[in-house]
Amino acid sequence: MIEIFAIPGLPEIRAGADLAALIADACARSDVSLRAGDVVAVAQKIVSKAEGRVVALEDVAPSAEALRLAEQTGKDARLVELMLRESSRVLRWREATIIVEHRLGFVCANAGIDRSNVPQEVPGKTLVTLLPADPDRSARHLRDGLRRRVGVETAVLILDSHGRPFREGAVGVAIGVAGLHPLTRMAGWVDRYGYALRSTVMATADEIAAAASLLMGQTSESRPVVVVRGAPYQPSEGSVGELIRERSKDLFR
């Protein structure tokens, strides 16, 4: 049986916050005990806030390329400049939409830069968050901190919402992994009728992330930390890079 539940009571996260300590404290206040094998799924937004990955648009000077792309898409040139800085290349664009290959390897809209659920606390400034600089490292740091505080070995996923090229809507995906193998290779597994699978690979980290994202929500739910208990996965140090298809094998880039 798989259980999915949120950890309530986390405060507003600010730069320098110790997320492991805050999550452990919230668990204690809510009488929630993490168990070995649990997957702790954490919204990218609070990781970015804790790591100080917050930028004021007023402090960004757009380049000529950003100004050109902003004119073609109708986007704020300062936001476009941040997208260019965070990306290895721009893949597609049209009015109000820019799809990039992020420097971390993800193909996503707006380089993962977002204004939602960012408190606008500085007068005269418009604040946005960037993705964590190294989400795998962030996940490992959080995993290790939770181990020290609660005494059990959990896996940690950092997740974000990404769109998909041929389907409407966004889904939760893993952008940082610690303690689980992000893929389950099923070649050789036998189905109900004795047929041996030949090439099936399940994106286990993304499937768990999508389940957690459903409970987290996208707006005012205030559930940035979700525990997934009982999900099957292979314990491993892992890296989210394993989920990213090599460009030579990508038929659409």
Q: What is the pLDDT of residues 12-23, one digit of tens each?
A: 999 999 999 999
Question: CATH number, domain at 77?
Answer: 3.90.1660.10
Which pLDDT score is estimated for 124?
87
Rounded Cα distance between 45 and 160, Å, is 8
Rounded Cα distance between 201 and 224, Å, is 28
Angle at 252 between CA 249 and CA 253, to 5 degrees: 80
Rounded Cα distance between 195 and 83, Å, is 46
Residues 154 and 61 in one domain: no
CB burial string 137-149: b at 16+ within 10 A, e below: ebbbbbbebbbeb
- Does residue 250 sit within a domain? no
Out of 129, 164, 194, pick the residue that ends a domain: 129
Q: How far is CA 45 from CA 48, 219, 224, in A?
A: 5, 12, 8
Which pLDDT score is estimated for 189?
84
pLDDT at 252 over 80: no
- Does residue 252 sit within a domain? no
Out of 105, 129, 153, pick the residue that ends a domain: 129
Averaged confidence pLDDT in the chain: 94
Residues 227 and 147 in one domain: yes
Q: Please, are residues 39 and 225 in contact by the beta-carbon 8 Å criterion? A: no
Token pair 């399940």: residue:
202
Residues 173 and 223 in one domain: yes
- Does residue 249 sit within a domain? no
Residues 31 and 143 in one domain: yes
Q: Taking residues 172-199, report their average pLDDT.
A: 92
Which residue range forms the structural domain that includes residue 61? Answer: 54-129
Residues 226 and 142 in one domain: yes
Residues 109 and 143 in one domain: no
Residues 168 and 239 in one domain: yes
Q: For 37-81, write each residue's pLDDT tens digit.
A: 999 999 999 999 999 999 999 999 999 999 999 999 999 999 999
Residues 124 and 232 in one domain: no
What one-letter code names the amino acid at 186? Answer: M
Residues 84 and 116 in one domain: yes
Question: CATH number, domain at 177?
Answer: 3.30.1330.100
Residues 61 and 144 in one domain: no
Rounded Cα distance between 107 and 92, Å, is 10
**Number of folded domains that form the chain:** 2
Residues 73 and 39 in one domain: no
Residues 138 and 217 in one domain: yes
- Does residue 238 sit within a domain? yes
Out of 129, 152, 176, pick the residue that ends a domain: 129
H helices of 177-231, where? 204-216
Which pLDDT score is estimated for 31?
92
Q: Taking residues 237-249, report their average pLDDT.
A: 91
